Amino acid sequence: MSRWWVAALVLLVVGCASKPPSRYSIDQDHGPAREVDLSQVADAEPRYEPLSRGGNRSPYEVLGRSYRVLASSAGFSEQGVASWYGHKFHGHQTSNGEIYDMYAMTAAHKHLPLPSYVRVTNRDNGRQVVVRVNDRGPFHQGRVIDLSYAAAFRLGMLQNGTAPVTLEAITPTASVAESTTPAPAVPLPTAGVVLQVGAFSSWQSAQAVKTRLALRLADTPVSISKREGVAPLYRVRLGPLAAGSDRAQIEALLAAEGFSALPVVDLP
């Protein structure tokens, strides 16, 4: 091999090594590796929430363009093209600091305050969903909202990738908050082995994980245990495992869904 080719090869290797790593584990976005029936995933439940600390700076700049955040979602409506985002962003932080879950009913919008609630209607087939906006985007020309994989599934737009939609903001007031407070967490069972899948500061995040697990493990109870305090913690727990159940198989399935190193709660 000539010295010229050796030098070119060295430069190529160095160039690849110096390329900054992406914050995402994959380059191309896609849905889950296997088909998941999300037809029973419930709409987001609108409730009064204070604005997030993150994601509401206005104006903000992306790719050289400046965007302004609305002071309120009250009376907001819009028509345009919806898209969806999935596995590439699954498990990464959204603009307001939460963790994106493609199986939850959430969305990204350029201008609505975070969080906001929006009714989305697919104008091609009339299907509707209610999503909680907790992220920024999409920053593609002509698109008005980026929906989670679950929301896109419910709207019947996965195959096409995009759909013409109408957006209508739902703006709960503080007086409505009492009636939309999450129901008390189901108490844990008093016997058996329970796996703690995760602990979340947001009830919405815990509920999304609970729904996702219930779809994957229909025969195993899933509960949310609330730890009271100045900063409440919502713990999603799986079990008690039925006698004779294959715990290794359950843990393998959970690992495939991104849940690993699960603490075990042994109950008398």
- Report all structural domains of the chain as residue ranges with CATH numbers, in order of start: 60-177 (2.40.40.10), 192-267 (3.30.70.1070)
Instruction: Note whether 212 and 258 are within 8 A (CB).
Output: no
Rounded CA separation 47/181 (Å): 7
Rounded CA separation 175/194 (Å): 38
Cα-to-chain-centroid distance, residue 25: 16
Instruction: State pTM to two decimals.
Output: 0.63
Interval 117-143: pLDDT, tens: 999 999 999 999 999 999 999 998 889
Quickly tell me which residue has 């739902």 as its tokens: 170
CA terminus-to-terminus distance, the chain:
71
Task: Supply 230's token pair.
Answer: 């100045």
Interval 172-201: pLDDT, tens: 876 544 444 454 544 444 456 788 888 877
Quickly tell me which residue has 């493609």 as its tokens: 102
Mean pLDDT of 52-60: 93
Rounded CA separation 48/51 (Å): 10
Rounded CA separation 222/213 (Å): 7
Rounded CA separation 157/135 (Å): 20
Q: Grade residue 14 by pLDDT with cuts at 50, 70 and 90.
A: very low
